Structures are given as structure tokens and as C-alpha cells.
Structure 1
Amino acid sequence: MNWDRSLDLLEVHCQGEIGKVIVGGAPEIPGATMLDKMNHINTVDDSLRRFVTFEPRASVAMSVNLLVAPTRPDADAGFIVLQADRAHPMSGSNCICVVTALLESGRVEMREPETIVRLDTPAGLIVAHAACSKGRCLSVSLDNVPSFAEALDLEIETPRWGRIKVDIAFGGVYYAIVDVEQVGSEIAPSNARYLAEAGIELKALLSAQVTVQHPVLTGIDEIAYVMFRGDAPDGAIRTCTTLKPGRVDRSPCGTGSSANLAVLYARGKVVVGDRRTSRSIIGGEFIAEAIGTAEVGGHLAVLPRITGRAWIYGREHLRMSDEDPFRNGFALSDSWGPQVDALS
């Protein structure tokens, strides 16, 4: 086959959440920093993002991670999370996928029993501690960026559920965290459709009623996700992050777990050294640990460590051609829901 341009991807999932990794063939993204590169994708040229996240090459329940050379000397690699709505600065499950791909493919040398991988992201430097044995990553612990609560028990008006309370917190991106009983549901696989639609509805309401702006990072100025929260009988925290235009995260969500850890810290419910188990809608688990504190633009922040595991399950080779009638991808409401117009 005569292919002038192509992309090489490793197919990876973390606790069921797909986070493919582009390991070759991607065009150079302009920008002096990883944040500049993400903002370029979001504001100047999103053609690569659309190519890899929309049909006919992608499906609803997945992300794609763009692996790039680091822009800072203390990092081993850099990456940007690409999703159907936009490029995002950080994701715990995707970061675990990237570390696993780098090590198991040999792009970063694996050292047993532990390899430290430093990742340049738009949200800041992420230090990953990978437990390794016989060429495999058994688990990855991410020292995430400083995470902080911006508002606790913020009341918003909703047509469907009346006045509800949300916590606004940053864990690599901004989250609105909602106790799930406020929308008359619980976190269970049978409720995934309802929670996805409720989360997207709340996100739209929040965008009209609440503004955020990271005190240091330019361009991180929206509530990216609504995460529903519930308590499990064994003390674990049930999580269900909803993603635009209408699906739920299959993993326990690393940045969401970091944001919730920041909320618990702000409420005095955890101290440095405490651990909490985050359990997803399908039962996958991350461990969220408070390993220290920091200050970010006047906010007292907690330093989260998120531990989970990813699996490489395949490889993919995508042809890039200007003659492809769907090179910009497409999205239909049969799978994406009524919010599909927001993607165009």
C-alpha cells in the first residue's frame, strides 16, 4: 500500500477506559510549552484531534493521547489528551495509559522493580512511579499536580432537580462534584445513561452560572466535567465522571479523584498520609493518597498520588489522506446524543 502519511497508535485501556497513545506520525504542534501546544489545538488547528477522536476512526467511549517531545528538560516525554470536545490538560487514566505505553514499548527504558517517568503536560510536571516486572507495568502511581477546592457547597438552580449543591475543585482540570442522590440516582451500570445525560445538563447550567480561571495556567478556564460522587458500604468512594457530549468515564477518574481528595482535605476529612479508594461505575479502582500540601495562587492545595493500572491490548496504523472524504471525522446523535451539534 502506498501511504504517504500515517499514524501509529498503541491501543491501551485503564480500568476499562480506552486511552490510545499516538506514538508515531503526528505532525509537529507549535508552541514553546505543552500548555501552548494544547491551546494551539483548541484555538487554531484541531484537525488532528478531530481525525483521531471522531468516526469513522473512533468511537464514543475513548480518548486519544498525543505523545510529543517534552518542552522542559526535567521530563522524559510529553503528552496532550485529545477528546471529542477539545484537548484537555491532564487525565489520570490517560496518564497511566501513556506511562504503560512508554515503558512496555521500550520508548522509555524500563527498570525493575520500579521505573520513574516524568511527564510534561499542559497542567504541569507529572512524576509517575511504575511498578515493573518481567517487562510489564504492574501499576502506576502518579504524583499529580497540586489540587485545590475552589468552592464548597456552591448552590445552583436547576429546572429538573431544584437547587442543588456542588463542590468546585481543580485536580488537573476543573470539576463540579455532585453527590449523586441530589439527582435522584445512584452510581450503577444500569444508570449510566441517566447519569451521562444529567451530567451534561448540569455542565451546561454550570457554564451559565459559574466561572473559573486557574490562577497560574492560562486557558484552563472552564469546568471540564461533572463528577457524581457516592459512598460505598465498605468506605470506598463511588465516582462517575460525565464527559461531553454524553457518556460516563469507565475508570475511577484520576483527576476527578484528585479533585475530590482536595475537597475532602478542604473539609478536614483527610490529612497528609491518608488514602481513599475511588471505585468506578463498573467496579475498577484507583487509590488516591494525600502525600503533601502546596500553595497555588492563594489556594491551599493537596498533592495527590493516584495509583492504578493499564493494559496494552493492540496496535493501530491509521492512513492520513486529503482524499479521505471523512478526514475531519463526524459525529451522529444516535451514539453521541442530542448534544452532538456542540462538537462541530
Structure 2
Amino acid sequence: MDIAQKLSRPENKPISCIEMHTCGEPTRIVIDGYPNVTGTLLEQRTQALQTHDHIRKRLMLEPRGHYDMYGAVLRPDTELTQLGQAHMGVLFMTNNDYSTMCGHATIALGRFLLDTHDLNTFPRRNDIIWDRESLIADLNIHAPCGLLRLRVPVSPDGRASDPSKPVSFVSVPSFATGLQVPISIGHPWPQLEQKDVPEASVLVDFAYGGAFYAIVDASSLGFMGHLQDVDMQELSKATERLLLSIREQPKLTSYYQHPEEPDLSFLYGVIVTDSVLREGSPVSSAELGVCFFADQQVDRSPTGSGVAAREALAYCKGERGTGSTWSYHSLVSNRDLAPPFVGTIESAGGSPKQVKTAPVHVRVSGQAFYSGFSTFSVEQEDPLGDTGFVFTKLALG
């Protein structure tokens, strides 16, 4: 038996993936080999975590992945696809969990779902409607947080996506839950200790864009230089302690409670912002940010769900109104290695007196590209087939 035959045997559970990136942030799209899960999409998420988490570890962690790998599992059968509201469902995978929303992966999925014509992979591919004049296709994706409405630029015959133009999506209703909330820090990090602040506290905003974020500017954390020049390891330690401090204080849980769905009520990460880009001065209608999410995973992209949360926050603060457009840079796009994400407030609910509690509908746009394809197998004798590991944590015991 040759190697190819051995690795294709059923007991080795081959899993096929399409590899893409959005602003440098990877998306490993599972197109075949993932075990079936049933029920509503949130129930599928729970079932995947409880029953098939070894698959996530296999694909995300070493030796087949890495600490900052990100994945998406296609789910053709959900309650919204059955109702005809969505063309496809999806589960998102991180280094420690199944997240509820992901903008960069949504942008990548928009291109892939337009490009594939395999009805086994995408049964509703022929239901996609595209406009011959604008060359835009409308595509709806059911994420665990809700329905995402995409616009995907297409080729003149409508059979493929146009990689030269950005994909955009309108996210689920986004909203702010707390403005400038003082957070007591039990164990300050060195940069914060150097600041003249009472009882080591940090002012943090909280907002939801399909997932809940604590949003804070770099200087509030004690990093007085520009974000592009900050030591990322030190910043990671600071945000990790900030998250721990928030989660240890029960009174703060109200800032990441979803009004309708308990499964969405958790704090996903911290976004550190800076109005200064690489030229060393503020730039109109643009800002820089670094997102630490899941288990201190660092997003290479500007974070699509984070863009929705930050736009909602700006609206609630009265800094921006409907129709305003803002560019969101990551450290990658800030070096001209990829285009930034663009956020636009399309509409907001409520009356003018309810601005601080209004749900905001944000369109996020960005560009994704293919980077390859892969098939992952496991030999029966391989002890790392269903566990994986994080190399940097092996010395922690």
C-alpha cells in the first residue's frame, strides 16, 4: 500500500479544506470530512464543542495548524437555510472554542461560495441571485449570532467572484453596552503601574458586533507610544490581565449579556485602538486596532465583528451618524501589506432620544484571497492526531 492509499483509508478520517486569508488572517474552510451535527445552528455549535472538539484541535493546533489559525465549517442545514432565509450556515473555529461571529471569515466565505459549483459542498449555489448591471451577487450566511447579508462582486457571467473588488456584509444588529466603565485591576502590569491612576483602574468601553468586546485605547493601558510600535508580547499580557479582571468581577457581567440569547453572552476579546497610523499623527476617518480574542489569539485583520462593534460604539457616543464611512486598519494593513476594512453605519433603530441604546446596522467590507487547499489525515498510531498542542505553552506545566 502506498502513502496516498494509507492516508485515504476511512479510519484516518481525511478532512478537506480550502485555505484563504483576509488581510493576512487565515480561514481554513472545511468542505468535506467534518462529522454531522444536527439541530439549530447554536445547538450544532454546542454539539460540535461537546462531541467533535478533537476535530477543531486537529485542524487549528500544531502540528497541522498553529496558535493563531482560524477555521470555518460549512453547515448547509440550519433553521434559516430550511426557511429559505440563508443560503449556507457556518460554524467558526478558534484556538480554544467555536466563536459566534467572524467578519474576516465571512468575507472569505463570500468569495468561496460564489466560486464553487459543487452542489455537494453548497446545495443552494444555484439559488444565488446576481445583478447583471452592478455585477453584484446577494448571498446570505447564517452565523451562530444570526443572519449576515453579503454582497459579492462577480465576473461578467456571474459564475465566479471578482477578486479585485471587496466583499461586504451587513452584520447582525450591533450595540454598545457600556461607555468608559472603570475596571479595577487586581494585578497591574508594569506599564499600568507607571501611570498615575487611582487604585490601578482602566476605562473600558463594551460593545457587541456578533460577539462582545472590551474596547480600550492603548494609552489607557499604559502604553504611551503608538500602537504600531508597542511590544505585542507585553500588550498581550496586559489584555489578558484586563480580561481576567473583568471576568473576576460579577458586577461587570451585565456588559456582555445578550438581550435574547444566553449562548451569545460571553466576553470574546479585547480590542486595543489607536487613532495614530504609521505617519505618527491622527488620520481623518481611520483608526488602528489590534484584537486579542479566544485564548489570546491575535487577529491579523481589522476584525469584522470588531468593526461592527466599534461603529456601534461610535454611534452611541455621538461621534458618527448613519451613512458615515470609516477605515479600520490592522498592523498588517497599516504597513500597506493589504487593504483595510471599511465600516459604514447603514441604519440605526430607535428614536433620537434612544441613541445610546439603539441597535446599529453596520456594513463591513474587505478583500479575501485564496492561499491553497489541503487534506488532513491521521494515522491510527499518531498520538497527536486528535489532540494537537500549543508549543509556547508546553513549558507552563
Tell me, yes or no, whether TM beats 0.5.
yes
Correspondence 1:216 to 2:248: no
Alignment of 1:117-132 (within 5 A): 117-132=139-154
Equivalent of 1:155 in 160, 165, 182: 182
* Cα distance in 1 between the residues matched to 2:243 and 2:380: 35
User: Does the residue aligned with 2:91 lie in a helix, a strand or coil?
Assistant: strand
The CA deviation at 1:322 is 4.8
Equivalent of 1:100 in 100, 103, 111: 111
Structure 1 residue identity aligned to 2:264: I
Correspondence 1:264 to 2:314: yes
Partner residue in 2 for 1:24:
32
The answer to which of 176-185 and 317-326 deviates more is 317-326
* Cα distance in 2 between the residues matched to 1:299 and 1:288: 19
| Number of corresponding residues | 337
| Structure 1 residues 270-306: Cα deviation after superposition (integer angstroms, max 9, x where no partner) | 11111111111122411100011237xx942100100
The CA deviation at 1:14 is 0.2
Which structure features the higher share of helix residues? 2
Paired-residue identity, %: 24
Equivalent of 1:78 in 89, 113, 131: 89
Aligned-residue Cα RMSD (Å) equals 2.3
Correspondence 1:9 to 2:49: no
| Structure 1 residues 206-243: Cα deviation after superposition (integer angstroms, max 9, x where no partner) | 11122132111231121101000110322211111013
Correspondence 1:319 to 2:377: yes
Decide whether the 8 Å contact of 1:70 with 1:120 is kept in 2: no
Please list every run of 5 or more consecutive structure 2 residues that lacks an aligned counterpart in the other structure. Answer: 193-199, 277-281, 334-338, 351-355
The CA deviation at 1:144 is 0.3
Partner residue in 2 for 1:178:
216
Partner residue in 2 for 1:193:
233
- Seen in structure 2, the aligned counterparts of structure 1 residues 238 and 215 have a Cα distance that, compared at 3 Å, is same
- Seen in structure 2, the aligned counterparts of structure 1 residues 46 and 255 have a Cα distance that, compared at 3 Å, is same
Question: Which structure has the larger Rg?
Answer: 2
Structure 1 residue identity aligned to 2:348: T
The CA deviation at 1:326 is 1.2
Decide whether the 8 Å contact of 2:138 with 2:150 is kept in 1: yes
Equivalent of 2:348 in 271, 274, 293: 293
Please list every run of 5 or more consecutive structure 1 residues that lacks an aligned counterpart in the other structure. Answer: none
* Cα distance in 1 between the residues matched to 2:229 and 2:153: 30
User: Does the residue aligned with 2:332 lie in a helix, a strand or coil?
Assistant: coil
Equivalent of 2:172 in 138, 145, 148: 145
* Cα distance in 1 between the residues matched to 2:297 and 2:204: 20
Decide whether the 8 Å contact of 1:117 with 1:127 is kept in 2: yes
The answer to which of 217-226 and 110-119 deviates more is 110-119
The CA deviation at 1:247 is 3.8
User: Does the residue aligned with 2:37 lie in a helix, a strand or coil?
Assistant: coil
* Cα distance in 2 between the residues matched to 1:321 and 1:262: 48
* Cα distance in 1 between the residues matched to 2:31 and 2:293: 25
Which structure features the higher share of strand residues? 1
Partner residue in 2 for 1:37:
44
The CA deviation at 1:38 is 1.3
Partner residue in 1 for 2:283:
234
The CA deviation at 1:176 is 0.2
Equivalent of 1:133 in 136, 155, 165: 155
User: Does the residue aligned with 1:62 lie in a helix, a strand or coil?
Assistant: coil
Structure 2 residue identity aligned to 1:37: Q
Partner residue in 2 for 1:276:
326
* Cα distance in 2 between the residues matched to 1:37 and 1:16: 28
The CA deviation at 1:89 is 0.9
* Cα distance in 2 between the residues matched to 1:167 and 1:322: 48
Decide whether the 8 Å contact of 1:100 with 1:312 is kept in 2: no
* Cα distance in 1 between the residues matched to 2:259 and 2:47: 20
User: Does the residue aligned with 2:328 lie in a helix, a strand or coil?
Assistant: strand
| Structure 1 residues 107-144: Cα deviation after superposition (integer angstroms, max 9, x where no partner) | 43574611111001110010100112363342111110
Structure 1 residue identity aligned to 2:85: D
